[in-house]
Structure 1
Amino acid sequence: MDAPHVAQARRLVRDRFPDALSVVLAGSTASGRATASSDLDIPVLVGDDGVTHRETVRFEGRVVELFVHTRAGLAELFAADVANRRAAMQYMYAGGLVLVDVDGAAGRARALAAADLRGGPPALGARAVGSRRYGLTDALDDLAHAGDPVEALAVAGYVLTAAADLLCDHRRAWIGGGKWLPRRLLEADPALGAALLEGHLRLCRAADPTALLEAASAVLDLVGGPLREGYRRTWQGTEPSAP
């Protein structure tokens, strides 16, 4: 744990949230991955008369992401993060460093977060899996025949994200975005996850799509195989026109 980062977080809490019920320092600082420029991710539980919100501030020259919530707000955030299969707030609480814990409030929140994480994300329904299979099948064909290197890079990004989504669902593992995509992907399936990431890196470095095509095809095989001819989806009014 980076002591200067922790001390800085404690000073911010004393300055801005003297009446907080619970404060947790999460993110790269809590996981030991902080750099000199890392921001601070801080979930803050306030009283029921507070307002649930997210706010970005700069404190002593460092960017701080504040996740402020009441007890009811935290329950809603947890539910939303389970529904979107990311559990971002749960990971913050379960893996963060407790800075403030009034009457066990932080401990109770951490226990709820841990229970959600153990339960795993909800499975995608057959309709959603079919839509994703179709989209990935189409993207693999585009990637295999891409003539423009810029377009190939764009398609490769979609292939990686779509394959990761299907693989994490197949393994009943939480997904992630940005830097958390590779981390969650490797947790879900160390071997196939690494193959996807290495294939994407190889395409970016050497313009060779072969390894990414093979890895993403292996993911498709796990979830029912490529899907094109015979695919039919009835529009339900709230979905995009394309997968």
Structure 2
Amino acid sequence: MTDEALLLVAARFPRALGAVLGGSAAQGRATPLSDLDLAVLLPRDDTTRREVVRHQGRLAELFLHTVADVDDAFERERVHRRGTLVHIYAQGLPLLDPHGDLTRVRTQARTVLAAGPVPLTTAERARSRYLLTCFMDDLLDTPTAERYDQLAVADHTLREASHLLTAHHGAWTGIGKWLPRRLLGADTARGTALLEGHRIVAEQGDPGPLAAAAEEVLGLVGGPLREGYVQK
């Protein structure tokens, strides 16, 4: 897939100062339907943006940043805690680097990746504890016969518990298929308990294991939060 990616960059961005292939393609986990995740470094007089295109029949998601904007982009990702761009630059496969700009940015990305996301504030942590407590309580209170309700609450429980657990470890989080990958990378034992609990809800309708795993996460950050919570 590197050849496909190089052809795309050459055709659309002839002045590119660097390009990196990330995602499943860079990890050797691509499927026939996988898209190309490409970070492209552009000259200062270009425009930072995000595009989705189709190239040779395959979708490609393009993360386009000028050399002047990439520092701010990395800092925004630390605040958002997912670090998609940071991971692509730090861990992806370099495709071209005509003047050495990409080498500098990749070194910077590795530094940002190692530093981790911005820690949760006291207010953010309290809100996450409160939300996870609510989802956990709703999960246990929802009748198994109400499958749509149960599955929806289970999804929210998993996401909030993952957000809180990765934040507790100072680790990056993710969405979609990257949520379990980041979760297991941050805490293999507790992450597995959450994911297995979610699977059991989906397959068996039993909320107990997921609720127990969520409560264990809450125990790391002060326990469940119900009465007394104030949002300012």
The answer as to 2:159 corresponding to 1:161 is: yes
- Match runs of 1:56-67 below 5 Å: 56-67=52-63
Tell me: CA distance 1:12–1:233, structure 2 relative to 1, closer, same or farther (3 Å): closer
Q: Which runs of 4+ in 1 moved over 2 A?
A: none
Could you say what secondary structure the match of 1:124 adopts? Answer: coil
Tell me the residue number matched to 1:201.
199
Whether the 8 Å contact between 1:21 and 1:102 is mirrored in structure 2 is yes
Q: Which runs of 5 or more structure 1 residues have no equivalent in the other structure? A: 235-243
TM-score by length of 2: 0.97
Which digits, 9 at most, give the CA deviation of each residue in 1:161-183, with x for residues without a partner?
11111101111111111111000
TM-score by length of 1: 0.92
Whether the 8 Å contact between 1:27 and 1:40 is mirrored in structure 2 is yes
The answer as to 2:54 corresponding to 1:54 is: no
The answer as to 2:30 corresponding to 1:34 is: yes
Structure-2 separation of matches of 1:155 and 1:179:
19
- Note the aligned Cα RMSD (angstroms): 0.9
- Size of the aligned set, in residue pairs, is 230
- Match runs of 1:11-160 below 5 Å: 11-147=7-143, 148-160=146-158
Q: Which runs of 5 or more structure 2 residues have no equivalent in the other structure? A: none
Could you say what secondary structure the match of 1:65 adopts? Answer: strand
CA shift for structure 1 position 97: 0.9
Structure-2 separation of matches of 1:83 and 1:43:
19
Percentage of matched positions with identical amino acids: 47
CA shift for structure 1 position 86: 1.2
Whether the 8 Å contact between 1:81 and 1:89 is mirrored in structure 2 is yes
Structure-2 separation of matches of 1:13 and 1:229:
55
Aligned partner of 1:211 among 209, 212, 219: 209
Tell me the residue number matched to 2:180.
182
